[in-house]
């Protein structure tokens, strides 16, 4: 009887270790996938940000083009929504909200509308402010991309979170 | 006054709310403030604004529409209590709140 109970306990422990091992491997795999996705999307967002900067500077330094103006605003809105998504999954910090506001503001608070539009020089304050706002947001995206790759969960953390999930 | 009114900018005003003044086209901030927001705020206690169906917002539009309310006599604190800004984009909300707080009466 005692031998039977001992065997059952051993089988149970073995089974638990197998499940735990599988969960730890899955956890590490999921974390790797998330980090990879996060890195790739941050790099893609940085490219989209460059496109926004180019279009915004063109808007302020060439003759007024309503379609281009709308395209810039649509791209800023899209990038802003996606940044918000990545912020909610903790890939980006809360400071990016202010950086997105800074970008939209630099691009479209002044000299953006047809009634007050004037072609700007490449070294004008408006253009420089767009470049500064873009650089700040770009830096935050770049930091997030490299943080995602660097800060993978340790094995101990995966074990602890797997144990928590079992019990 | 009655209680609540929901206005969806993208569906009921414009897909592209851009421009500060009426001279900037049909979807400008001054028009939104004077023809849509102000009448609602006069008639209703609370106004809910849905932002996410528009394709993009210009800061000049947002500043004129919301900062302009303060310049035209509404109290910033009162506006912040009565307006509910519904959007999945927190940067939009933060920007609008900053315009309301920063505008001088």
Q: What is the ipTM of this complex?
A: 0.91
Closest CA–CA distance from residue B86 to any residue of chain A (Å): 14
Q: Map out the domains of chain A with their CATH numbers.
A: 32-152 (1.20.120)
In this complex, which of B16, B55, B60 lies closest to A113 when CB atoms are compared? B60
Whole-angstrom Cα distance, residue B97 to residue B76? 9
pLDDT by residue for chain A (167 residues), tens digit each? 677 788 889 999 999 899 888 888 888 888 889 889 999 999 999 999 999 999 999 999 999 999 999 999 999 999 999 999 999 998 899 999 999 999 999 999 999 999 989 999 999 999 999 999 999 999 999 999 988 888 777 778 878 877 787 77
Whole-angstrom Cα distance, residue A48 to residue A103? 13
Q: Which residue reads 């920007």 in tokens?
A: B95
Q: Tell me, what's the pLDDT at B3? A: 65
B18 chain-A contacts, CB cut-off 8 A: 69-70, 73, 108, 112-113
Residue A154 is classified by DSSP as P
Q: Contact A62/A56 with Cβ under 8 angstroms? A: no
Q: Tell me, what's the pLDDT at B2? A: 61
For an interface test with A, which of B24, B56, B93 has the most A Cβ atoms less than 10 Å from its Cβ?
Answer: B56
Q: Tell me, what's the pLDDT at A1? A: 63
A13: Cα within 13 Å, side-chain hemisphere: 6
* Residue A139 tokens, joined: 């830096």
Closest CA–CA distance from residue B38 to any residue of chain A (Å): 22
């Amino acid at each position: 009887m005692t031998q039977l109970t001992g065997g059952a306990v051993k089988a149970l422990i073995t089974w638990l270790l197998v499940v735990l091992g599988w969960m730890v491997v899955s956890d590490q795999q999921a974390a790797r996938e998330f980090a990879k996705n996060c890195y790739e999307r941050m790099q893609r967002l940085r490219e989209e940000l460059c496109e926004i900067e180019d279009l915004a500077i063109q808007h302020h330094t060439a003759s007024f083009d309503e379609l281009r103006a709308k395209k810039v605003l649509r791209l800023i809105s899209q990038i802003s929504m996606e940044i918000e998504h990545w912020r909610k999954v903790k890939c980006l910090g809360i400071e990016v909200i202010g950086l997105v506001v800074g970008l939209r503001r630099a691009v479209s608070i002044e000299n953006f509308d047809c009634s007050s539009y004037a072609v700007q020089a490449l070294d004008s304050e408006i253009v420089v402010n767009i470049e500064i706002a873009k650089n700040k947001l770009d830096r935050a995206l770049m930091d997030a991309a490299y943080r995602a790759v660097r800060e993978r969960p340790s094995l101990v953390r995966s074990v602890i979170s797997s144990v928590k999930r079992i019990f | 006054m009655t209680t609540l009114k929901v206005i969806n900018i993208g569906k009921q005003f414009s897909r592209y709310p851009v421009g500060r003044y009426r001279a900037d086209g049909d979807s400008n901030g001054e028009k939104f403030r004077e023809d849509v927001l102000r009448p609602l705020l006069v008639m209703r206690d609370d106004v809910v604004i849905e932002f996410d169906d528009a394709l993009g917002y210009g800061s000049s539009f947002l500043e004129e529409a919301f900062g302009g309310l303060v310049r035209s006599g509404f109290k910033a604190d009162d506006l912040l209590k009565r307006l509910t800004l519904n959007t999945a984009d927190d940067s939009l909300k933060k920007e609008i709140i900053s315009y309301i707080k920063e505008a001088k009466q």
